[in-house]
Chain A
Amino acid sequence: MTAITAVLPRTVSRVVPVTVLLVIALVALGIVSAGSGQLAVPPDQVLGSVLHRIGLDWLPLPVHPNGDAALWSIRFPRVAMAMLVGAALATAGAVMQGVFGNPLADPGVVGVSSGAALAACAGIVFGLSFAGAYTTAVLAFVGGLLATFLVYLLARSDGRTEVVTLVLTGVAVNAVGGAGIAFLTFLGDTQSREQIVFWQLGSMNGTRWAYVGVVAPLVAVGVLVAMLLARRLDLLALGERSARHVGVDVERLRMASIVVVALLTAAAVAFCGIIAFVGLVVPHLIRMLLGPGHRVLVPLSALGGAVLLTGADLVARTAVAYADLPIGMLTALVGGPFFFWLIRRTRRTAGGWA
């Protein structure tokens, strides 16, 4: 058997070091982010506060009288939400790219996010509350699902999606979604208008534990199902016919993936609005570092997305003193040029698609 092992060399995996680095980055960013703001709490006191809650008497508690309360009622839920939303968006991007067989698919770019936001905005303006705290999330899910199906049906032909078709379909779907949101803004009263503006900018501001409680299970389920689909998404890269030849039920895989993308996008959009380009940037970087295999790509995109959005939220809160910048604006500011670079680059190398 020595001959065989010689023919099949094992590659030295970079997965473990990258994972460790990302986890360290996530924890560090989380602590710094929780400690930053108008009421600054040093990192050791942030950590001390957490350890005290779980019954460990290490490290000092926050010195400021309101420190502990600020951390637990405002900062921690916000940091947790940034991590969840980042993980959701990046995973949704990775799955969507796998299904479309196209590295430029992103829930924001192709209009799924605006579909979800449109439905959520309709809920705000018409004062819907049929599912209690989950109403917005349910509406966002339905809107996202419809938009995903629409994009999917419109952009595909002959079992593949051309980049031009995909991007233009995104333009069209975004235009219609934007028009719908504009119309709702026109219809709504002052309060709902403010809420709608908040959607479109995207922000973690005002996150409460109750919101985190709604988003967390959705993201957990979404990421888990995405990981279960990973192996089949690899095979789908062969093209639909060849994927079927190696035993993939392509129709079922597609439907499952679309539902996952809609679920994750809805989870992200439900309370924080439109945050574009995370799903594009993160999976791409992970692919460059660790290759295109979805079994690694999906979980590490989730992790990388959490790191990116935690960092972005920290910048949003601290870049300008006494101002909470909209995070969607920030990600678009960075993601837009990245998207352009990606188009240029993939055009030049033409990695299997035109």
Chain B
Amino acid sequence: MTAAIEARDLGYVVEDQVLLTGVDLDLRHGELLAVVGPNGAGKSTLLGLLAGDLRPSTGSVRYAGRDAHASPAADLARRRAVLLQEHRLSFPFTVLDVVRMGRAPWRGRPEESEDDRAVAEALAAADVGPLVHRRFPTLSGGEKARTSFARSRAQGTGVLLLDEPTAALDIKHQEQVLGHARDRARSGDAVLAVLHDLSLAAAYADRVLLLGAGCTHGLGAPADVLRADTLSDLYQYPVDVFRHHRTGELVVLPDRTAAHHTVPTALPTEALR
């Protein structure tokens, strides 16, 4: 497996706040990598740096050996697609219009002939086929998220960066979207997804990157990284990790019985920061 994106000693500082520091990461072709961690851990910052949106304060992000910041926007758009958390649109385009926008980087190139097929596949993958003529502002939050997912999917790039793709979705669509992302990885794409649901990360990711306060706290197979002691410590909340009795899948849950004792002591230090 070769690296689609190589990040070395990646750091990002804004107004003396260190949001991310010393992150080394290879996003490989053929893998789905989940980025997890508490709020403010630097997950979205990392995604912004990898996407080439933010200029790293230290280190570098390279796509196939080429610095992300040295590449024109159009070149980068043919290498990676990005799904952000926010799904807004200034004007009331239809769902079909929005998904078609994902094909913009291929205009005037041979790949343009793939447009209709890519759009149709993306609509099916995100289950927004029945919504094609709806105007984007009239959609629910989850429908907007799926439309945006379809757009990033239609872009047809070998690298897919997803910031909380499942946040607004119901169970069926969470599974559908992540299942599709994993299928892309199986067929050779490199997929990175920022996730909050640790059980979902455990179920779908090939590797997990655990971030906390801007630093790497673990990178590897889900079972190695998602450990009860590490997570409880990092999230400052008791977390239980166990195997499902029937499926054997890794399940990560907050331990609510233990919570009453630890939360009050954890809160003040957090509040004083």
Give, as a whole number of angstroms, the nearest-CB distance from B123 to chain A: 6
Q: Is B84 touching A241 in the complex (CB atoms < 8 A)?
A: yes
Q: A247-B76, A293-B97 are in contact. Are A238 and B89 (CB under 8 A)?
A: yes
**In the complex, how many angstroms separate the beta carbon of A45 from the nearest chain B beta carbon?**
45
Which listed residue (A247, A248, A352) contacts B91, Cβ 8 A? Answer: A352
Q: Is B86 an interface residue (CB 8 A)?
A: yes
B103-137 CB contacts (< 8 Å) to partner A? 104-105, 107, 116-117, 119-120, 123-124, 129, 132-133, 136-137
Residue interface mask A214-250, B partner, CB < 8 A = 1? 0000000000000000010011111101101111111
Kindly provide the distance from the CB of B147 to the nearest chain A CB, expressed in whole angstroms.
11
Chain A contacts for B82, CB-based, 8 A: 241-242, 245
CB closest chain-A residue, reference B155: A246
Contact of B92 with A352 in the complex, beta carbons under 8 Å = yes
Which of A98, A102, A247, A351 lies in contact with B73, CB distance below 8 A?
Answer: A247
Asked whether A245 and B92 contact (CB < 8 A) given A234-B101, A235-B101, the answer is: no
Interface residue? B42 (CB, 8 A): no
Is there contact, CB below 8 Å, between A231 and B104? yes
A190 near B: Cβ within 8 Å? no
* Identity of the chain A residue whose Cβ is nearest the Cβ of B133 in the assembled complex: A11
How would you classify the secondary structure of chain A's contact residues: helix, strand, loop or mixed? loop
Nearest-CB residue, chain B, relative to A351: B137
Q: Which of A298-354 contact B (CB under 8 A)?
A: 349-353
A14 CB, nearest partner CB in chain B, Å:
14
Q: Is B90 part of the contact surface with A, judged by Cβ < 8 Å? A: yes
Report the nearest B residue to A297, measured CB to CB: B91
A2-10, A54-62, A115-123, A164-172 - interface stretch: A2-10
Within 8 Å CB of B116, what residues of A?
A: 4-5, 8
Q: Indicate whether A249 sits within 8 Å of B93 (C-beta atoms), given known contacts A7-B124, A11-B133.
A: no
Residues 46-90 of B contacting A (Cβ, < 8 Å): 51, 53, 72-78, 80-82, 84, 86, 88-90
Q: Is the pair A247, B78 in contact by a Cβ cutoff of 8 Å? A: yes
Chain B residue nearest in CB terms to A232:
B104
Whether the pair A245, B90 counts as a contact (CB closer than 8 A) is no
- Residue B165 interfacial (CB < 8 Å): no
Q: Knowing A7-B123, A246-B104, say if A101 contacts B72 (CB, 8 Å).
A: no
Are A293 and B119 neighbours in the complex by a CB distance under 8 Å? no
